[in-house]
Amino acid sequence: MTTPAELALTCTELSPPELAHLQRLLGAWSVLADLSFSDLVLVVPTTPVPGEEPELVVIGQIRPSNRPTILEQDLVGQTVRQAAWALSTAALQRGAVVRGAVHHPLIGESVPVENIPVGFGGKVIAVLVRVYARPAEVPLSAYGKRYLDVFERLVKMIVASEFPFRDEDVGTEETPRVGDGFVLVDAAGRVEFASPNAINAFHRMGVYSTPEGRSFTELGIEESAVQWALAARRPVVEEVERRPDVIVLVQCIPLLDDGTSTGAVILLRDVTDVRRLDRLLLSKDAAIREVHHRVKNNLQTISSLLSLQARRLSSEDGRDALYEAERRVRSIAVVHEILSRDPGDQVPFGEIVQSLVRMAEDSVMSPRPVTISVEGDLGEVTADVATPLAVVLAEVLQNAVEHAFGQDAPEPGHVWVQLVNDREGVSVDVRDDGCGLEEGFDIERTTSLGLSIVRDLVVSQLGGSIEMGPAASGGTEVLIRLPAKSD
Ligand SMILES: Nc1ncnc2c1ncn2[C@@H]1O[C@H](COP(=O)(O)OP(=O)(O)OP(=O)(O)O)[C@@H](O)[C@H]1O
Ligand SMILES: [Mg+2]
C-alpha cells in the first residue's frame, strides 16, 4: 500500500540519503511536537516543472499529545504554491528560521508559525512548519518554559543537520513520549529538571530523593545509557529494570551544539504492565507446548499398553484389533509431537507425512519390500484439519502395505503419495501397484473399521470427499479431496 506521504515523495527531487534523513525525522519528531506544544508539518519542494509555479508538498504531519491540535485537517499529500507559503519558501531559500503569522482558514484569524529549515549535507532539503496557538494559550508553567527551551536547542540541531541523528533507527511505537516523563540533564549528566510524570516514574523505581542537581548514579539508577548518549552523541534506548517488577523504558537524546554534547533529554516510560503482558503471552505459548507434549506422552503410553495387552491375547483376531488400535493412537500422537515443538494453529503437514510413512514402512510384514514415495506438500495446515487428516492418511497407507502386495509376487511394491494444496483446496492421492481391490468393492458400502473411520473423518469431520478404485497403473488409488476454506 502506498501512503499519501510516499506518493507525495514521488514528485520531489530528494536523493535516497536525503529521504532517509526525512524518514528518521518523521520517526523521531513526536518529541518536537510535544516540547513545542505545537502541530508540525513537514514540507518539501516538488520537482520544478518549466512554465509552472513552484510548489511545496506536505509529506508529514504530527499533533502534540499534550495540547489540543489547531490543524484538524489532514494535510499529508497536499501541494501548495510556494508563493502561498511564502514564509516556508523563505526558510527554504535562506536556510534560516523564519517566524511570522499566517491566516488560518478554519480558525478565521492569523496563527503564529515558525519555519525551520531541515539541513542535510550542506543543503536545505525540507522545511518543518510549526503552527502554534497564540502565546497566551501556551501553558507557561515551569516545565512549559523548559520544554520550549529544549525545543529551541533541538531547532538549532535540525538546521545544522544534527537532528535527526545519522544512524538512528526509525522510532518504534514503543519509544516514550514527552508526556510519559521528561528529564533534562546537563553535559555532565546531572539532572536540571524533571517533569511531574518523570518524578512519578522515579518513585516507582524506588527513588524518592529530589533529582535536581544529582546524576542518575547518585539517585541510584543505572547511568550507562545517559553517559553513553552524552559521550557518543547518539540517542540510546534502554530498558531499566528496578526492584523486581518495575521496568522503565529510558530514551536518551543528546543535545548537541556544534558537535559537542551540552546535555540530554531523557524520556522515561513505565512499561511494567506492557512487559508483564508480554511475559504472560510468552508463558501461554510455553503452556500450550507443554500440554501438547503431555498429550503426546499419554497417547504413547496408551499405545504401549495396547500393544502389551495384544501380546497376551491368544486369539489372533483380538490381537490384530489391538495392534490396529495401537497404530491409530500413534498416528494421532504424531500430530501432538509436532504441535509440542511449534504450538499454534498451523502445523507443517510435511513432517507429519514423514512420520506416517515411516510408521507404515515399519509395519510391512511380508518379505516383499515396499517403497513409499511422497510428492508435493500441503504446507501449513490448521491443527483441526491436521489431526483427522493424519489418521486418514495413516489408515490408507496401512491398507496399501497390508493388502496390496501378496506374498508371492517377487518384485518390490510401490506406493505413491501425492499432496496438493492450492486454491481449489487440498487433495491427497495414494496409489499403489499392488493386486487391486476385490471384485465389486465399493467404499460407500464397506463396513470394515479402517475405511469406515476414513469415510467418517473425511466426509463428516473435514467436509471432503473420497474416491477409491482401480489405479491406471494397476493396483488401487485412493483420492481424498478437501474443499478450500472459504474464510
Ligand atoms: N490398497 C489396497 N489394495 C488392495 N485392497 C485394499 C486396499 N485398501 C483396502 N483394501 C481392501 O479394502 C478392505 C477394507 O479396508 P479397511 O481398512 O476398511 O479394513 P482392513 O484394513 O481390512 O481392517 P482395519 O480395520 O484393520 O483397517 C481391506 O480388507 C482390503 O480388502
Ligand atoms: Mg485398514
The average pLDDT across 320-326 equals 90
d(CA 78, CA 5): 9
- Residue 446 Cβ inside 6 Å of ligand 1? The answer reads yes
The average pLDDT across 37-56 equals 92
407: pLDDT confidence band, cut at 50, 70 and 90?
low
- The amino acid at residue 480 is I
Phi-psi region of 397 (alpha: psi -120 to 50; beta: other; left: phi over 0): alpha
Per CATH, 4-159 and 178-270 having the same topology is answered yes
- Atom 3 in ligand 1: which residue has the minimum CA distance? 404
Phi-psi region of 337 (alpha: psi -120 to 50; beta: other; left: phi over 0): alpha
- Residue 476 Cβ inside 6 Å of ligand 1? The answer reads yes
Q: What is the pLDDT of residues 222-271, one digit of tens each?
A: 888 899 899 999 998 888 887 767 888 999 999 999 999 999 999 999 88
pTM higher than the cut 0.85: no
> What class, spelled out in words, does domain 360-487 have in CATH?
alpha beta
pLDDT higher than 70, residue 139: no
- Residue 403 Cβ inside 6 Å of ligand 1? The answer reads yes
- Which three cell numbers mark 38? 505545537
- Residue 404 Cβ inside 6 Å of ligand 1? The answer reads yes
State the distance from the centre of ligand 2 to the C-alpha of 450, rounded, in angstroms: 4
Identify whether the C-beta of residue 469 lies closer than 8 Å to the C-beta of residue 477.
yes
pLDDT higher than 60, residue 173: no
pLDDT higher than 70, residue 18: yes
Q: What is the CATH code of the structural domain delimited by 178-270?
A: 3.30.450.20
Ligand that lies nearest to the alpha carbon of residue 326, given by its number in the listed order = 1
Q: What is the pLDDT of residues 181-205, one digit of tens each?
A: 999 999 999 999 999 899 998 988 8
Q: Give me the residues near ligand 2 (ion), CB cutoff below 5 Å.
A: 399, 450
- Atom 1 in ligand 1: which residue has the minimum CA distance? 400
Mutate to test the pocket of ligand 1, among 317, 403, 439 (most ligand atoms within 8 A of CB): 403
Segment holding 229, helix H or strand E? helix 224-232
Q: What is the CATH code of the structural domain delimited by 4-159?
A: 3.30.450.280
pLDDT of residue 49: 87
The 3-state secondary structure of 306-341 reads HHHHHHHCCCHHHHHHHHHHHHHHHHHHHHHHHHHH
With H, G, I as helix, E, B as strand and everything else as coil, classify residue 186: strand
d(CA 469, CA 286): 45
Mutate to test the pocket of ligand 1, among 322, 327, 438, 448 (most ligand atoms within 8 A of CB): 448
d(CA 310, CA 307): 5
The average pLDDT across 353-372 equals 85
Length of the chain, in residues: 487
- Residue 451 Cβ inside 6 Å of ligand 1? The answer reads yes
pLDDT higher than 80, residue 102: yes
- Least confident segment among 41-45, 73-77, 372-376, 427-431: 73-77
d(CA 403, CA 394): 14
Average pLDDT, the chain: 88
Domain extents for the chain?
4-159, 178-270, 272-344, 360-487
pLDDT higher than 70, residue 171: no
Rounded to 5 degrees, φ, ψ at 199 are -60, -40
> How far are the Cα atoms of 197, 225, 227, 274, 437 from residue 270, in angstroms, in the given order?
10, 16, 21, 9, 70
pLDDT higher than 70, residue 137: no
458: pLDDT confidence band, cut at 50, 70 and 90?
very high
- Atom 24 in ligand 1: which residue has the minimum CA distance? 450
Q: What is the pLDDT of residues 284-319, one digit of tens each?
A: 777 778 778 888 888 988 988 898 889 889 999 999
Range of 116-130, 319-333, 349-363 with top mean pLDDT: 116-130
